[in-house]
Copies of this chain bind each other. A is one copy, B any other.
Amino acid sequence: MTMPGTNLDPWYDSYAARTAGLSASEVRALFAVASRPEVVSLAGGMPYVSALPPELVSGSIERVLSSNAAMALQYGSGQGTPAIREHILQIMAMEGIRGSADDVVVTTGSQQALDLVTRIFVDPGDVVLAESPSYVGALGVFRAYQADVQHVAMNDEGLVPEALREAIARVTARGGRIKFLYTIPNFHNPAGVTLSWARRVEILEICREAGILVLEDNPYGLLSFDQPAPHAMRSVDDEGVIYLGSFSKTLAPGFRVGWALAPHAIREKLILANESATLAPNSFGQFVITEYLDQADWRGQIATFRDLYRERRDAMLTALGEYLPSLTWTRPDGGFFVWLTLPEELDSKAMLPRAVKELVAYTPGTAFYADGQGRGNIRLSFCYPTPEAIRTGVERLARVVNGELDLLRTFSGARLTRAHDQRPGVVTPPPNTD
């Protein structure tokens, strides 16, 4: 649809160099197909806001309008309101963070905090270190600022310190300028793993020694299922960490309110960048959230979300064990996502259209790499569909995976006899590749 427009675009030669880095994410394209009601979408990362009783929000809004309407409807400060910044301190204290409200900058979702941090640090060609895989929206920001993203290996305990050391040495040896390490320590998106406490300390030490800033992105930290996540990396390092938080997963994303807690000098630049970008984050959302945190049982609401997502996580893990027993996947202790590894012969991106045909959608692993990796992986999200839908979705996915494997086997054995019919066949047990 956009191709003819692009070809005919009279401004084609006028765009900035950075604009070449703007491309529709694979997740975005998926939202369109996956929104058909008959498709079970295990693709998106939308929180299940229907579990938030509207009266909790409407009560807050009534109080804002009756007592603070003129301010809530007005322009606000580029840093965010003092009241919400005080609340944000209390929330971060639950993860061991002690800071000053003066160093909190409220942003239009934590996505904008990612944008602003990248804006003030990254010149074209600068290196950003990121987990392998990493959050698709962060990779989009890094690309938009022409960063050179270098992935660093993870395993079940999260980012691997030795791999980080190697990456730093490799980049430094070739004269690259590393601007920061971007990490999601808790309930990683998309990998579903959590960085252990020992590794947090070790990674902070590595970064401190190498003079590398850490960008700690923590949207899911309070959504733990079995035990609380380890304390934030920011809790042990005030000067070397920018911490990003959000109300999108613990309350609702529709207000677009997130934040950064930054070392003092950096926070000043973030405020200026924020003012340049939007003048100020939306006052109305900030006032409503402040009332909500003042008056509503927000800790209880987070517990509700936890219980809900735990049940869905369990449904997904059970279904995977049942329908795809020969594959491997991560077992998240919180958050929204499971990371599935496919048999070597399969390609998650190539398989997606067939999956949608079978009425299940997922995000191919390729979305989470800056360098074309990820064809062997799938991100499955359990946040939005019901447990029953999750079960159905995994069953359909298994049918697709097994059908693909069957097809490959048939092709390699008797290619000519099946070449006219590329549709996946009936469900057969997968070969034991793992």
List residues of A whose CB falls within 8 A of some B CB. 2, 5-6, 8-12, 14-19, 22-25, 28, 46-47, 49-50, 52, 54, 57-58, 61-62, 65-66, 69-76, 78, 108-109, 111-112, 115, 119-123, 126, 137, 140-141, 144-145, 179, 213, 239, 248, 252-256, 263-266, 268-269, 272-273, 275-285, 287
Contacts and interface: CB of A to CB of B under 8 A. Distances in A.
Count identical subunits in the complex: 2
B115 A16 contact: no
Nearest to A27: B275
Contacts of A268: 2, 5-6
B6 A273 contact: no
A284 B269 contact: no
Given A256-B282, A278-B111, A65 B69 contact: no
Given A2-B268, A213-B11, A16 B120 contact: yes
Contacts of A278: 108-109, 111-112, 115, 256
A49 B62 contact: no
15 contacts: A8-B265, A10-B239, A11-B121, A15-B269, A16-B119, A16-B122, A18-B119, A19-B119, A23-B272, A46-B74, A58-B62, A71-B254, A75-B248, A76-B254, A108-B256
A54 B47 CA distance: 30
A35 to B, nearest CB: 10
A195 to B, nearest CB: 23
B73 A15 contact: no
Nearest to A31: B77
B5 A265 contact: yes
B73 A112 contact: no
Contacts of A253: 73-75, 283
Nearest to A28: B275
Contacts of A8: 265
A181 to B, nearest CB: 13
A156 B287 CA distance: 42
Contact of A254 (B11, B25, B282): B282
**Which of A8, A252, A276, A283 gathers most chain B CB within 10 Å?**
A276
